Amino acid sequence: MTTDIVDTAAGLASDSPVAALRQQREAFVRHTQGSHDVLITPSDPGGVSLIERAAAALRVASIERDAALVAHYRKRLLEVGADVVAIEAMNVSPRLEAILRHVSLLTTAPGSATRSDLETLRHAGLAERDIVVVAQIVACVSYQIRVVAGLRALAEEMRA
């Protein structure tokens, strides 16, 4: 069985009341993990490499300062053979730099993205489909962060 990234990041033991509550919505759990798997660890990454996908996810988690998800995505980068230190320092190819800058923009100020920002990605070699994938990764990790924060808060409240 695949490890559930949300339960792990939230620090939920499989026998915890919050984990049991979450399992009552099996489709919610399955689709949340499924989105992660399709976007971050697809069997065919298409035009966005596994390193680019994990680096984008790490950037979102880092901006949002979620230590558990940062650790998860750093580990994922190591699994796919990436230089995590170089990626975090932005010592990367122009293509990956463009992706990470766009991820930062979408994470911090999505409403300020312009056609020019999309053109920058196109000039870096991303096709329309690839640009959509990058945006989906930002949305997925942002969603994970919010679900994890809610589960942590609920677990804390139940302990009090």
The radius of gyration computed from the CA coordinates of the chain, to the nearest angstrom, equals 16
pLDDT score of 16: 87
Interior/surface letters 55-73, b for 16+ CB within 10 angstroms, e for the rest:
bbbbbbbbbbebebbbebb
pLDDT score of 2: 55
The residue among 145, 146, 148 whose CA lies nearest residue 57 is 145
In terms of residue numbers, what domain contains 23?
A: 5-159
What's this model's pTM, rounded to 2 decimal places? 0.93
Single-letter residue type at 134? V
Q: What percentage of the chain exceeds 70 in pLDDT?
A: 99
| Cα-based torsion angle of the residue sequence 10, 14, 17, 18 in order, rounded to the nearest 10 degrees | 30
Task: Please state the domain count of the chain.
Answer: 1
Please, are residues 61 and 69 in contact by the beta-carbon 8 Å criterion? yes
pLDDT score of 128: 97
Weakly modelled stretches of the chain, pLDDT under 50: 1
Mean pLDDT over each residue of the chain, to the nearest integer: 94
**What CATH number corresponds to the domain at position 107?**
1.20.1290.10
